[in-house]
Chain A
């Protein structure tokens, strides 16, 4: 399956943290085309297992990318039919006025987050950001009609399909971290063309945005020898300091710091160099805000690396990535896995 088509399908599928059932199913269906075996657990983590050559004492490798997305949740259904809401995951309240959303109740309802027109604003009100608690979603129904259809606690997703801006640059909602799921797919496709001696688990994790909870239980279940977390990092943005962001087209970003295993990370970089795959390096001073945080300390510890995709405007409805970099990340990970031969344990010596 074409990586961009896969991504487009994932972006259009709802799945805020804790409500990943449909996105999980969609990912499973695609993984089934490439993996020997696909399973789903009680939290809707998806596990796709791939093997090739079987070697004595070969490593068990787990790759993880999260498929949940940030979004909103119904807090109150007002008498006049407007919905008050809270956020699930880190949402900048300033992106909300004028946005389209889908409220997932008994039925899926289109909604608009209203914004007062300039004509009716009084005094200084235009000088302050609107607060989330003061906003409401307009679903076009009276409160009476919404009874039994929309309930407190119903999840709400943003509506913003995958859109091509220019060439391989695409934008949309939830690319954090559905683009990571696309890297999983890309890695599978590239691995099919290579020989490898490893038991590889491609895990699409849930509930990352609210505390890497899917990674906690899935790593426990897989018990990997090597962990590979795949997530997004900040791409260059005009209004952000250059030193905090990464180029969109110089390859994936490999993280270094206490959360990542130094020997394994060095090996990953060596393999990139050996195969002429470009990469950038990000320094992370503590536990990262990614699944690597949970994978590293699962059971008796898992040597972990973190591979990231630069993404602009994270946690907005116009998250932007370069599909070319998704492919490069897949190429790097496939080469990394196929390089794991006898003696792979030495990569992790201190």
Chain B
């Protein structure tokens, strides 16, 4: 089992509450980089001096994850919440979450099936109707365990399973964070800025600030992206496929990838005999959306580890895709002067 991936995915870091994951990444990066700093948006930037040129290249992965935030504590001790980032409320029912710094257990209950009308089982329970039960009988009792504004993350254990597969929460984008840590193990001709960004899931808020500060000549974003190679999804709707290697983005809802970079990534993959696939969906976005229009514009490209069921309590990835993504990123960077 990959102990680092376990620590990275089990750590809390809902957008706006990245403290715990940032500390882990900081201590890991500090061993590999020349300098580690945190900017005003909470982005963690690990700098590694180049051997030759003063050219700057930015590597980027977001450290935040989707989750919940407590916005009301009712008199009966029940918590009401908003989702932080995009979560389909249908994945929340009957799941456990951990709330706040003390990681209080909470559950997303639902009226028992016996008390429902048959038609109710066909309807979607909206986020507004959902609630968290922490076993408190009153508001006062609840306030001893949680506070208004506490963030909640899925209570999910990282586990290897199946044939070289892993499951866990926040594979989007802790896998990317781990790829960045791997890349930091090498020294390159240029100055490398490995950025672990905040608040990607609530509208790509952190990455733009990091890019503005660094002013890189090029940025490569490493993501955990949608994968829908599952039953019930038509062949042409499958954005990526598990086990087919890193997914290279041409365009999505927030940016075009720079064509020269994309070509160079593909050439590198072919040359190094690394499997790759083109992402076949233009939906979704990532940090490239803010980075490519930062300052006077920055060349960006996106390479992703395909992850099934992202933004749910249990997402699934293939370890070979993760290893291949790391190899591709490292080989690509080594080819950049």
B115-140 interface with A by 8 A CB criterion: 115-116, 121-125, 129, 131, 133-137
Give Cα A289–Cα B115 distance, bound, in whole angstroms.
13
Tell whether A165 pairs with B107 under 8 Å between CB atoms, given A92-B113, A115-B312.
yes
Chain A residues with Cβ below 8 Å from B129 are: 239
A-B contact count (CB 8 A): 209
**CB of A32 to closest CB in B, whole Å:** 33
Tell whether A313 pairs with B107 under 8 Å between CB atoms, given A118-B311, A320-B133.
yes
Tell whether A239 pairs with B111 under 8 Å between CB atoms, given A94-B125, A166-B136.
yes
Give Cα A171–Cα B134 distance, bound, in whole angstroms.
10
Chain B residues with Cβ below 8 Å from A244 are: 115
Give Cα A92–Cα B314 distance, bound, in whole angstroms.
19
Does chain B have a CB within 8 A of A82? yes
Residues 152-168 of B, flagged 1 when their CB comes within 8 A of A and 0 if not, give 00000001011111010
Does chain B have a CB within 8 A of A164? yes
Q: Interface residue tally of chain B, by bracket?
A: 35 or more
**CB of B238 to closest CB in A, whole Å:** 9
B203-242 interface with A by 8 A CB criterion: 226, 228-233, 237, 239
In the complex, the answer to whether A140 meets B161 with C-beta atoms within 8 Å is yes
Tell whether A165 pairs with B134 under 8 Å between CB atoms, given A90-B113, A313-B112, A320-B107.
yes
Does chain A have a CB within 8 A of B34? no
From the candidates B122, B141, B231, name the one contacting A129 in the complex (CB within 8 A): B122
A54-104 interface with B by 8 A CB criterion: 78, 80, 82, 84, 90-95, 97-100
A204-260 interface with B by 8 A CB criterion: 234, 237-241, 244-245, 249
Q: Tell me the nearest residue of chain A to B83, going by C-beta.
A: A118
From the candidates B116, B135, B316, name the one contacting A112 in the complex (CB within 8 A): B316
In the complex, the answer to whether B314 meets A117 with C-beta atoms within 8 Å is no
A119-159 interface with B by 8 A CB criterion: 119-121, 126-131, 134, 136, 138-142, 145
Chain B residues with Cβ below 8 Å from A120 are: 226, 228, 233, 237, 239, 281, 283
In the complex, the answer to whether A167 meets B135 with C-beta atoms within 8 Å is yes
In the complex, the answer to whether A166 meets B226 with C-beta atoms within 8 Å is no
Tell whether A239 pairs with B131 under 8 Å between CB atoms, given A93-B121, A98-B313, A140-B316.
yes
Tell whether A92 pairs with B116 under 8 Å between CB atoms, given A163-B105, A239-B129.
yes
A-B contact pairs, 25 of them (CB 8 A): A90-B113, A97-B90, A99-B314, A109-B162, A110-B167, A112-B167, A115-B312, A116-B228, A116-B233, A117-B311, A118-B87, A118-B88, A120-B226, A121-B88, A128-B122, A138-B308, A139-B162, A140-B167, A163-B105, A165-B106, A234-B114, A312-B109, A313-B133, A316-B112, A318-B108
A interface vs B, CB < 8 Å? 78, 80, 82, 84, 90-95, 97-100, 109-112, 114-121, 126-131, 134, 136, 138-142, 145, 160, 163-167, 169, 171, 234, 237-241, 244-245, 249, 289, 312-318, 320
The 3 closest A-B pairs by CB, nearest first: A140-B162, A165-B135, A169-B135
